[in-house]
């Protein structure tokens, strides 16, 4: 049987792009790893059926295998991720599929909002990098809280849910998921990204990687809010434990400063830091005051010179163990509960309402919510009950 004359350089590019090991690909393709390596080296050619299987596994169009060189894949928003100032890992196929899906949803929802007469959100791009972080953080708090305090909550998840709820009331669409669409076999990687923002004046959007630890998710939300207020879209990976949060980019540093000030105001922390108390006592007390994790408080104290670098690194190393133990998929649970979290409550409600009113075909609604039409009908009935 003649083999498919694929370009082995395209195969190598597709494997690198997918971020999957050769062993995993070979297993899915039902061939030995040695056979896959022979295709990579050009010693052998896969059959057309095998090449089609590879295109499915690697999430590329079958025709790509016959190109002379890899296609340019421009991102819809700037990639602002760095690790200690260096470029981060190549964004994998799961992230690219996610981003494409989010932009598809965003286009539909934006058109719907315009039809309903929604005007531009004045806070999008209200400030520039030249404005003080304290001023911007204060304006975000005013927009979300309206001058009142956040309702009392008992844990990070409820605090995060409260912040998301307030953001959505302000007109910001917040999505939080650990997978692509509703496909549990396509997990999102924290090593790839922690969040991104689309600073659209009609429908500003924030996506949070739900696979991350709660403390990181809260900081990511605050970081992406800063992006919205600066009118700058981008993909981010702020790292609480690294100097300069792992990034030397001016925009990302500014968003980190705003996020830190939003969560733990400088003047308030300084006035409430007790020199005579131990580090543990200070952090425990203040984490309850600001409703954030111990790591966030320690990080803020370090940034403000209340904690030296050695003490912070030591605390972070110990706390990281506890932090990882508490990390779990925040979007787990029943489909009925997770759907509004993954896609945003207002967006989910809008799709359901448009469908039930007859303005949107059921199959199109299923595409927007990445689910089967019959499942969507059952979801709608449960919502109504």
* Confidence (pLDDT) at 376: 83
Residues 6+ apart with CB under 8 A from 128: 230
* Confidence (pLDDT) at 321: 75
* Confidence (pLDDT) at 333: 59
* Confidence (pLDDT) at 258: 96
Residues 6+ apart with CB under 8 A from 321: none
Residue 76 counted as domain residue: no
Residue 244 counted as domain residue: yes
* Confidence (pLDDT) at 14: 86
Residue 130 counted as domain residue: yes
For residues 219 and 368, membership in a common domain is answered with no
* Confidence (pLDDT) at 85: 57
**pLDDT one-digit tens code per residue, 127-172:** 999 999 999 999 999 999 986 666 667 677 888 999 999 999 999 9
Residue 77 counted as domain residue: no
Across the 385 residues of the chain, what is the mean pLDDT of every consecutive 10-residue run?
81 83 89 90 88 88 85 83 69 89 95 94 97 96 82 77 94 95 89 94 97 88 97 91 77 94 94 92 90 88 92 87 61 72 93 91 90 83 70
For residues 235 and 357, membership in a common domain is answered with no
Instruction: Tell me the two tokens of residue 180.
Output: 């692509």
| Angle between helical axes of 48-57 and 8-18 (0-180°, round to 10) | 30
Overall number of domains in the chain? 3
Can you give the pTM of this predicted structure? 0.83
* Confidence (pLDDT) at 70: 82
The set of long-range contacts for 129-136, using a CB threshold of 8 Å and a minimum separation of 24, is: 129/230, 129/250, 129/251, 129/254, 133/254, 133/257, 133/258, 133/260, 133/261, 134/261, 134/265, 134/266, 136/226, 136/229, 136/230, 136/258, 136/261
The dihedral of CA 166, 167, 168, 170: what is its sign?
positive
For residues 151 and 259, membership in a common domain is answered with yes
For residues 161 and 283, membership in a common domain is answered with yes
For residues 284 and 340, membership in a common domain is answered with no
The dihedral of CA 380, 182, 218, 74: what is its sign?
negative
Residue 307 counted as domain residue: yes
For residues 177 and 300, membership in a common domain is answered with yes
Range of the domain at 52: 8-66
For residues 225 and 132, membership in a common domain is answered with yes
Q: How far is residue 70's CA from residue 19's CA, in Å, rounded to a whole number?
A: 16
* Confidence (pLDDT) at 1: 52
Q: How far is residue 346's CA from residue 325's CA, in Å, rounded to a whole number?
A: 32
For residues 199 and 345, membership in a common domain is answered with no
Instruction: Tell me the two tokens of residue 203.
Output: 């429908």
The residue whose two tokens read 């005051």 is 289
For residues 283 and 359, membership in a common domain is answered with no
* Confidence (pLDDT) at 203: 97
* Confidence (pLDDT) at 91: 85
């Amino acid at each position: 049987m003649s083999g498919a004359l694929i370009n082995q350089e395209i195969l190598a590019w597709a494997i690198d792009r997918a971020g999957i090991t050769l062993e995993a690909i070979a297993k899915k393709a039902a061939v030995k790893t040695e056979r896959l390596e022979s295709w990579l080296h050009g010693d052998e050619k896969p059959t057309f059926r095998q090449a089609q299987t590879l295109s499915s596994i690697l999430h590329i169009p079958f025709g790509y295998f016959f190109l002379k060189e890899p296609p340019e894949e421009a991102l819809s928003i700037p990639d602002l991720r760095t690790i200690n100032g260096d470029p981060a890992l190549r964004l994998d196929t799961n992230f690219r599929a996610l981003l494409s899906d989010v932009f598809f949803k965003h286009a539909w929802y934006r058109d719907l909002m315009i039809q309903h007469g929604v005007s531009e959100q004045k806070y999008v791009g209200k400030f520039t990098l030249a404005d003080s972080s304290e001023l911007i953080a204060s304006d975000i708090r005013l927009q979300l809280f309206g001058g009142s305090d956040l309702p009392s909550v008992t844990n990070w998840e409820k605090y995060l849910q409260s912040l998301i709820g307030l953001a959505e009331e302000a007109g910001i669409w917040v999505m939080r998921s650990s997978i692509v669409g509703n496909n549990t076999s396509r997990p999102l990687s924290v090593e790839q990204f922690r969040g991104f923002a689309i600073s659209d004046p009609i429908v500003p959007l924030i996506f949070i990687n739900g696979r991350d630890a709660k403390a990181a998710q809260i900081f990511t939300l605050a970081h992406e809010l800063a992006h919205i207020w600066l009118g700058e879209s981008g993909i981010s990976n702020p790292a609480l434990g690294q100097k300069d949060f792992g990034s030397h980019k001016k925009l990302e540093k500014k968003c980190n400063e705003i996020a830190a000030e939003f969560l733990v105001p400088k003047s308030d922390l300084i006035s409430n830091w007790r020199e005579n108390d131990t580090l543990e006592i200070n952090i425990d007390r203040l984490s309850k005051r600001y409703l954030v994790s111990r790591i966030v408080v320690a990080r803020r104290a370090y940034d403000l010179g209340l904690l030296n670098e050695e003490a912070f690194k030591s605390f972070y190393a110990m706390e990281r163990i506890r932090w990882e133990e508490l990390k779990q998929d925040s979007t787990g649970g029943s489909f009925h509960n997770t759907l509004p979290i993954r896609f945003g409550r207002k967006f989910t409600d809008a799709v359901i309402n448009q469908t039930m009113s007859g303005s949107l075909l059921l199959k199109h609604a299923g595409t927007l919510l990445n689910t089967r039409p019959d499942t969507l009908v059952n979801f709608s009935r449960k919502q109504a009950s």
